[in-house]
Amino acid sequence: MSMRFGVFVPQGWKNDLDEIADPVEQYEAMTQVAKLADAGPWDSIWVYDHFHTFPEPTMNTTFEAWTVTATLARDTTRVNIGQMVGCNGYRHPSLYAKMASTVDVASRGRLYAGLGAGWYEHEWKAYGYEWSEVPARMAAFREAVQIVHRMWTEDEPVFQGKHYSIDKPINEPKGVRKPHPSFWLGGGGEKVTLKLVAQYADGSNLGNGDPEIIKQKLAILREHCDRLDRDYDRIAKSTSLNLQPGDTTADMTRKVEQIREAGADYVIAYFPRVAYDHEPLLRFAEEVIPQFA
């Protein structure tokens, strides 16, 4: 099974820009990694949709996801650009759909539009978003996915739900990629998220690099696809891979091989010090990716 690869750019969320004092230089460090990926053989670059650093909120840079997505779309020419994943609670789904359509055009069809239910409670409350427990967030997420899909595929979409409603919003242009911008859903919830993936998504992100979890969740996804008569093979099945400083080529290859054996066909790699040291990124591209392409 051939695989595709993406890479997270250093955005600040994991304190990965803290050693650079000037915010302009921080942004340029992020852009430089994006341009290296654009030179190949990476399929995509990714950002997180967060406002505060993780695992602890600190007074450090975290660049906003959709602003970054739009600018990187113009700083690159080849790679796809996505969010892993957009937080549904931070934007009304109708606005999300409109923003994604615009960026899909700006990138000439290179957007991977990611969406998830969200989870970083501290961040929600700090920015004034109403926090709710899992059942309510998942219910809102289910409605949001339907609204986004309708706004990308219908001229006069109407939706009336418990959490959201739309009444014939005009969304022109709807994007460049056909039949609509590439839609990726994040999360492994077996009853809601994975069913939504089978119904609406072009890509899924689950398992956080753990082969056993990946295998378990993909089995559930396949069951949903079978029930809905959806072609399982047409869905990109991605997972995140957190690499460590000092990982050898053999270490990286072994981790990817385990992920492939679990059934994933897409790896999104995170290199914690890539803003300061490009060598692991370049070595992964030169020595690991060709083994799985």
pLDDT of the residue at 293: 86
| Mean per-residue pLDDT, 246-267 | 97
Model pLDDT, residue 1: 78
Average pLDDT over residues 255-264: 98
Would you say 246 and 236 are in contact if contact means Cβ atoms under 8 Å apart? no
- Mean pLDDT for the chain overall: 97
Residue with tokens 């190949």, as numbered in its chain: 40
- What percent of the chain shows pLDDT beyond 90? 99
pLDDT score of 61: 98
Give the pLDDT confidence of 72-92 residue by residue, as tens digits: 999 999 999 999 999 999 999
pLDDT-based confidence at residue 182 (cuts at 50, 70, 90)? very high
Confidence at 266, pLDDT banded by 50, 70, 90? very high
Residues linked to residue 45 through DSSP beta bridges, in sequence order: 7, 81
Contact 209, 269 (CB under 8 A): no
Cis, bond preceding 55 (omega within 30 deg of 0): yes
Amino acid 248: pLDDT: 97
**Domain residue ranges in the chain:** 4-292
Q: Give the DSSP H or E segment for 44.
A: strand 44-47
Task: Read off the pTM.
Answer: 0.96
CATH class held by domain 4-292: alpha beta
Q: Is it the case that residue 110 has pLDDT exceeding 90?
A: yes
